[in-house]
Structures are given as structure tokens and as C-alpha cells.
Amino acid sequence: MRARFGRAALCALLVVPIGCAQLERRRTEEVRRVADEVGQRTALVFPPKWAELGAHEPSPQAQALLADGLDDDEAIRVALLENRSIRAAFERLGVAAYDRVRAGLIANPLFSATVLLQDPFPDVELGVSQPLVDLFRRSLRMDLADVELDVARAAVLEHLVRVSSHVREATLACRAQLERARLAQETALAAREAEGLTIALHKAGNVTDLELSTRRRARALADLDSLEAQALVVERREDLLALLGLSNDPGFELTTRLELDQLPAAPAADLESRVLENSLGLAQLEARLRGAQARAGLPRSFNVLGNNSAVGIGAGKDDVVGSWGVGPILSVPIPIFDTGASMQSAARAEALAWLAERDGLVRDLASTTRRLAARQASLSERAALARSELLSLTRRVVIETLQQYNSMQIGAFDVLHERELELKHSRMALDLWEDAWRARIDLDQLRLGARPETHRPSRSMGG
Amino acid sequence: MSITGSTQRKVTMNSNRRQLLMAGSAVLSAGALARQSNTNATPAHNRTLSRDTDLAGLTPGQPGVDYRPVVTPNGAALPFKVIDGVKVFHLVAEEVDHEFARGLRAHCYGFNGRVHGPTIEALEGDRVRIYVTNRLKVPTSVHWHGILLPNGMDGVGGLTQRPIEPGETFRYEFPLLQHGTYMYHSHHDEMAQMAMGLMGLFVIHPRYPQGPRPDREYAFLLSEWKITVGSRRPDPNEMGDFNVLTLNARTAPGTEAIVARVGERVRLRIGNLSGMSHHPIHLHGHTFEVVATDGGTLPDTARWPEVTALVPTGSTRDFEFVADNPGDWPLHCHMTHHVMTQMGHGLPILDGVDPTLFDAALERAVPAYASMGAASGDGMSGHGQDADEAPAMSPPNSLAMVGMRGPFGFVTMGGMFTVLKVRGSLPEGRDVGWYQHPEGTVSMRADPKDLARDGIEL
Ligand SMILES: [Cu+2]
């Protein structure tokens, strides 16, 4: 096939050059768009001004936040600034943004030249051709890139929501573990006092070796428990630091004071519809469905054209007469074997698959919403009951045990035993309190569009 | 010829008497009286009436005229009226919210609003008719403990009568053929009902007293209770660990003191209806003789001087002595756990260990303890300052384990304890107060000069 004629200059005009400045603007626009949406979803002012990657120190903005302690919102802001996974997600958003720009570009025309050296004249053929399919499929390509960009945007948002939620959970876990460690220390103190008294009684010959050993063993157990609780304080702090993206602990305080008698409010009545409305997983599936539907809706001929079709101009020098000739070039596949039907069917099938997944997710989201709402309600009720009844009664029991002790009806060990039970019940109430707030955080995360992980372990349920 | 036979013969000849019986009693018919053969053996040592005495001809004894009434400390006498020559009493068995001492009350059983029931007092030869109304929620009966009477009047539920159902009033009627210190108590589900306090004293004065007559008579009924500290109802199931030991259902410091003028002859009539315990009753500063049991007066040859005499459960003992030693003298059971109140057991032994260790440990480990104000520093953990008032740190409705306030500080006795106050003169109607010791007669820290003189090296 020889392309002999064409107007190369004309073809060059079709090319729209895209400068670097425009590309960067496009990326910035996308980032801002996501940031705005974060703002709408989380009421956080999100200034994406990152520090240099590889820098050891937090960004000046993060340092300013860290300087006088962090409440939960400030902690999330630090994470947005410093958490490298958020940074990576935004960079991936850049990838999708650039891809979208590239999808709008027309493929470059193809220049070909052939020279055959022979007598008397060399045979010369020159051609400029433009891939034909590219012209027809540009709009589809742009649609598909839009889909990818939508998916990427939703994914970044989902990641942001998830990290924010994890930060809240981590600060909650830090506070709860501190309290847990305090209770364990108090328990160890009671056990140590009981051991001390038993040692004195044993020395006086008033109690048996067995009583002493039993008491010492109880103290050792309490110490083990307390040491574990203290180790977990360090671990929970590290969990938080990792989420905040800090490479070392600048020693900030957590300033959000959630009182132990404060419990999450019941979720709003329209929660389920809000969850469906905001779901970022659903947004991704819907974008993908849109893409598949766009592909399935193309005429079959589009599929047949393939990448080998081209139109262009060719110029050639006749080897006999030595004169030049110019003419059009056209190359198209002949749809004998592949009529394009299978590709269309595949696109339709894919659309159906996405549709099914979307439907599944809608059902799953509704069920998850109800389950988490029920969990939060139940945990809140139990936490409130533990505080209003269990703890106040256990405190009464301690006081009344002390009265019996003062009346010399029972001994100091009975009092210390009741004290240990009081601390155990305090811990039970604390676990319920923490779980109630965790359920609330999960529910908030769900409402903001990111479905929480399933099968989350729960302390109060023996997890 | 037995006294009963004689009585019955007289009664059958006495138309008034017979009319009375016929009119008033379906239980005590003339035939029933004829079956009073158990009194045939009434021994001489608990009667001053001849067997031939016509009881119907005797006038009912008048208190203050025919006999000097006993004083039941913390108690009362049951009032009576005389109807056609019969002394009529009315006992009402009911639940009573009873105070054992200030700070300790419990839902008990009693009679006529009292725990224990009022003391029934009569004169040998009196005929008594006692109505018993049951206002409890359970059936009961009343047994006249130690009194010689027709079998059907003995008050044993199920055996000699059917139980008195709630709301019913039963009549008991019998002549008093003896004198002495007796008791009455529930004899139906008696373990529970006596543990709840359903009992009282029954004192029969001799119609014709012999020997020196007491100037003062005090009557005590001993009993024991289990009232878990902080609870409000005696535990009738308790078998051994009784923690409230009482004189007339009061526990020291809730017991009234008794008084005597120097030189007076004093009779203590002491009955014991404790569930499980016998009580060796000890008097300080005097010797006494047991002059009678509920079996009768002891002959002089059977008496010996005592400072402690056992009063077994289900018995009475009459002690007599001349109060010849002025002062404040304890009268108490000598079982040491019986002069404690609401004693706890199962505590670790603290001897040999610095007791402040315990308070200090609790203050460190139990914030509620520190906030209570805690340690009293006397090792009694807050007890002992004033046993009349349960400290706020103790359970409500409970008493300090031991103790009452005395002129020299803290008396470490409670429970079955009171004080005999012997004085040269007794101001009428006034608290005699604590004994004023003559100069130099109170033990105190030894003077080093005395120690040196007597060669006591420390
Ligand atoms: Cu005793």
C-alpha cells in the first residue's frame, strides 16, 4: 500500500499542543476538588500544603498544630498533612488527572518515507497518515478517563475518610488504654497491699504458708496485668503516631476530653439514606458501570475499526518517469471474521457485572448501617447501665463492705477483694464505653462514605 | 389427800364456783378439774398453801398488799383485772419493732407491743384466765413453763391443743398451785418463734412467805439472737453464732442498771430461754445464794455461797444476797463472747501485728476508706468512742461489738451485762449516777515511791 498524496501541513494543525503549566493546573484543580469535598464531608478545613517528601520534620503547619496539644480534629489535620498514604493517594489522583488530559489528545500523525535506490531514478514514497480510529473514539476515551478520574477521586476521598476515622479511633484507644492502665495499677496496688498484710500476718504466725503463697500469686498476676496494660499504652500511642505520619513522638497531649459518663447520641433517623447518598464505594461502582455502559453502547463498527485503520496522504516519485505523484491513503480492516459483536457483548456483560456489584453494595450498606446503629444503641445502653447502676452499686458495695469491716464483721482482705472487684467493674464499664464510641466512629465513617472494615474486634464482647 | 383432790372436792361443793365454771368454760369443766391429777404430786417446796386450802375461798392477791411486785428492768408488768374472783390477763402475740439498744432495732415477735412479753405476776392460789390473741401471720400457742396445770392448758401445739391460728383468741385458765419464777413462751414452731422473741416471765409470789423477805426483786429473762450486722430481722435458723445476747431483750449498753440500798436483801429472778446457751451469771462484789429454781425453793441445807451460778436454758434460778458493798458492780454472763455484741467471726488474727498496718493499707488501696475518715487509732477500727451511737462508718442498724461509756472511759463489755449500783442512800426518781469512790480506793498508776519501797523493779 502506498500513500502518495496528502497535505502534511493540514494534519499538523489538528495537533493541539498542551503545555506543562496547563497540566499542573489540572492536577491542582483535582486536588482542590477533593479537598472541597473533604471539607463538605468532615467540616475540616483541609490545606493540602505538604512538606517535602523525605523531610524528617513535620511541616510547619503540622508543627504549629502539635505545639499546644491535639484535639481530635487537629489530630486529623496533622494526619492529612503528614500521613504518607494520604499523600500517595493524592499523587495517584494526579496520575488519573494527567491520564484524563492525555485521553483528550489526538494521536500524533504518522509520517512514513520509503526510498528504493535503482536506475535510473530512485523510487521515493512519502506518506503522512492519521490513525482513523483515534478520531472516532476520542470522545469515548475521554469518557472512560473521566470514569477513571471519578473512581480515583472517590478512592482518595474514601481513604481520607477512613484515615480520619482511624485517627479518631486511635485517640479514643489512647485515652481508654491510659485509663485501663490506671485501673490495672490500682488493682496491682490493692493486691500488693493484701500481700503486704499477709506477709505481716505470716511473720506473726497467724496465717499459713498456703495463704501467703496464694496472696503472693494474686499479686504477681495483678502485676503482670498492669505491665501488659502499660505496654499497650505505648502501643496505642505508636498506632496514633503512625496514623498521624510522625516519624517520632513530639510529646503532644491529647486534649479532647471525653468524660466516661458521656456517651454517643443516637444516630439521625435519615442515616440509611445519607449512607447511600454519600457512599464512595457506590460512587466508584457507579462510575465503572457508566464506563462499561458507554462501551456497550458503541456501534459495532467502532469495535471493528480497531487500531489499524488510518487515513492519510501519500506522495511518491515514479521510478520510470521520475515525476511526483500525490494521493490519499486509507487502510481499514474488512469485518469478515470479527464483526465487533463479541466486544460489544463483553462490554454489556461487564456493565451487568458492575450493576450487580452496585446492587449488592446497596444492600450491604443498608444492612451494615442497621447493624452498626443497633450495635451503637446497645453498647450505649449497656455502657450507661454499667455506669449508672453497676458502678454506683459496686461503689456502694465497697462502702458497705467497709462498714462491715469497721464493725469487725469481716477482715481487711474482704475489703481489698471488693476493691479489686470495683476496679474490675470499672474496667468493664470502660470497655463498654470505648466500644460504644468505636461503634459511633464506625457509624460516622459509614455516613461519610467509607464502609468500615467488617468483623472489628470488640473488647466488651470478648474480642 | 392431794391438794387437787381437796380443791376439787371443795369446788364441787361450792355452787358459786361451779356456776362460774359451767358458765365460762367449755374446757375447764368439773370433769377437767378432776383430771388435775398431775398436781397431786405438787411438792411442798414450791407451795405455802396447805393441800386442804380452799382455793375458791382465797381472795386474788393484790400487788403492794399481798406481795411486793418485781421490777423487770427494761420491761413491764402485764395488767390484769379481777372478774368473779379470777385474775384475767390478755396477751396479744404480734410482730414488734424492737430496740435492743440505741442503734439496733429488729422486727421481732412479742406480746402486747413488747419484746419480751410483759411479766405476768400473781399470787400463789390465784386463779388466772389468760386470753391469747394471735396477731402474727403464723399459728402459735403459749406454754406456761414450769407451771403445774391441767394437761390441756399446757399450750403445746399439736399435742395438748390445736395451734392458735392467726386472728384467733384462745383462753387458758388454771389455778396457781405453786409459787416461784416461771416463764411463758411459744410452744408451736418454737425454734423460730422463740428465736424471734415470743416469751415472757411469769412470777408467782408465795401466799405465805417464809424466811427473810427481799427488799427488792428484779426479774431477768435471758435470751440470745442472731441479727446479721446491718439487717433488721433476727435469723431464727441460727444454731451457734448468736451475736446479740440479752437481758430482758436488751443488750448492753441498752440494759437498765439495777439499784439497792446498802444492807437491803435483793432477789434476782433469772430465767433463761436462750435457743442454745446456758449462762453462768456472775455478780461482782458480793456472794449470793441460789434460793430457788423453777422446781421450787431450795432448803437451806441445799444452798451454798456463789459468785457465779449457771442458769441453764429452760430454767430459772432465784439469787439472793444482801447488798452490803457500795459501788457499781457488774452483773453479767461470764461467757466472754456473751458480753460482746454483734461479734464477727472468721476474721484474721491480728495479734502480733501492728494494727495500724491494716488501716494504712486500706487507706492507700481503697479511696472510699480514706474518704470515710477511717482509722480511729485504737485498733478497734472506729469503735469504742461511744457505743451508744453506731458510728456513721458502721452499717446502719448495728451496734459496736463491745463497749459502753463508763466513768473511767471505755467499758469493753456489752451484751448480757448490766450494773448493780449499791448506795448508802437512793435519791427517789433520780439516776444514781456513777459511784463516787472514797479517796484512795481507786486503782491507778503506781507511784514510783511505792514501787521503790516495795522492791518492784521495772
Ligand atoms: Cu452467757
Contact B395, B386 (CB under 8 A): no
pLDDT at B207 (0 to 100): 94
Q: Cell 428465736 appears where? A: B195
Using the beta-carbon criterion (under 8 Å), do A408 and B391 form an inter-chain contact?
no
pLDDT at B320 (0 to 100): 98
Which residues, in sequence order, are CB contacts of A343 under 8 Å at separation 6+?
Answer: A300, A303
**B136 burial type by CB count under 10 A (0-12 exposed, 13-18 middle, 19+ buried):** buried
Residue A438 cell numbers, joined: 468505636
Centroid of ligand 1 to alpha carbon of A412 (angstroms): 29
Q: For residue B51, tell me if it sits in a domain.
A: yes
Q: Which residues of chain B have pLDDT under 50?
A: 1-40, 374-391
Centroid of ligand 1 to alpha carbon of A203 (angstroms): 35
Distance of CA A282 to the CA centre of its chain: 14
Chain B environment of A201 (Cβ under 8 Å): 348-350, 353
Alpha-carbon dihedral sign for residues A139, A143, A148, A152: positive
- Torsion of Cα atoms, B380 then B383 then B386 then B390, to 10°: -170
Residue A250 cell numbers, joined: 513530639
pLDDT at A178 (0 to 100): 94
Contact B38, B148 (CB under 8 A): yes
Task: Flag whether residue B377 sits within 8 Å of chain A, measured between CB atoms.
Answer: no
Q: For residue B89, tell me if it sits in a domain.
A: no
pLDDT tens string A32-77 = 887 787 777 766 656 567 777 777 788 888 888 999 899 988 999 8
Using the beta-carbon criterion (under 8 Å), do A400 and B382 form an inter-chain contact?
no
Nearest CA in chain A to B368: A399
Total domains present in chain B: 1
Chain B environment of A193 (Cβ under 8 Å): 361-362, 364-365
Q: For residue B208, tell me if it sits in a domain.
A: no
Using the beta-carbon criterion (under 8 Å), do B352 and A206 form an inter-chain contact?
yes
Chain B environment of A189 (Cβ under 8 Å): 364-365
- Ordered by start, the domain boundaries in chain A are 2-334+357-461
Mutate to test the interface with B, among A396, A409, A420 (most CBs of B within 10 A): A409
Burial A200-225, CB ≥16 within 10 A → b, else e: bbbeeebbeeeebeebbebbeebbeb
pLDDT at A319 (0 to 100): 66
Report, as an integer, the average pLDDT of A405-412. Answer: 88
Predicted structure pTM score: 0.77
- The phi-psi region of residue A258 (left if phi > 0; otherwise alpha if psi is between -120 and 50; otherwise beta) is beta
DSSP E strands, A83-225: 110-116, 123-131
Helix (H) or strand (E) holding A275: helix A271-278
Task: Flag whether residue A212 sits within 8 Å of chain B, measured between CB atoms.
Answer: no
Look over chain A and give the mean of its residue pLDDT values, rounded to a whole number. Answer: 85
Task: Flag whether residue B370 sits within 8 Å of chain A, measured between CB atoms.
Answer: no
Q: How confident is the model at residue A19 (pLDDT cuts 50, 70, 90)?
A: low
Q: How confident is the model at residue A10 (pLDDT cuts 50, 70, 90)?
A: very low
Q: For residue B283, tell me if it sits in a domain.
A: no
User: Using CA atoms, how far apart are residues B244 and B252, in angstroms rounded to an integer?
Assistant: 10
pLDDT at B134 (0 to 100): 98
**B454 burial type by CB count under 10 A (0-12 exposed, 13-18 middle, 19+ buried):** exposed
Look over chain B and give the mean of its residue pLDDT values, rounded to a whole number. Answer: 86
Q: How distant, in Å, are the alpha carbons of B112, B144, B165 from that of B90? A: 9, 14, 16
Full residue range of the structural domain in which residue B19 is found: 5-57
Mutate to test the interface with A, among B231, B350, B366 (most CBs of A within 10 A): B366
Protein fold of A2-334+357-461? Outer membrane efflux proteins (OEP) (1.20.1600)
pLDDT tens string B374-415 = 434 333 333 333 444 433 578 888 887 667 889 999 898 999
Task: Flag whether residue A276 sits within 8 Å of chain B, measured between CB atoms.
Answer: no
Using the beta-carbon criterion (under 8 Å), do B395 and A402 form an inter-chain contact?
no
Task: Flag whether residue B383 sits within 8 Å of chain A, measured between CB atoms.
Answer: yes
Task: Flag whether residue B373 sits within 8 Å of chain A, measured between CB atoms.
Answer: no
Task: Flag whether residue A345 sits within 8 Å of chain B, measured between CB atoms.
Answer: no
DSSP B292-322: EETTEEPPGGG--EESEEEE-TTEEEEEEEE
Residue type, B214: P
Q: For residue B32, tell me if it sits in a domain.
A: yes
User: Using CA atoms, how far apart are residues B411 and B417, in angstroms rounded to an integer?
Assistant: 11
Using the beta-carbon criterion (under 8 Å), do A406 and B349 form an inter-chain contact?
no
pLDDT at B347 (0 to 100): 82
pLDDT of A158 strictly over 70: yes
pLDDT at A96 (0 to 100): 84
- The closest of A131, A136, A137, A112 to A330, measured between CA atoms, is A131
User: Using CA atoms, how far apart are residues B208 and A36, in angstroms rounded to an integer?
Assistant: 116
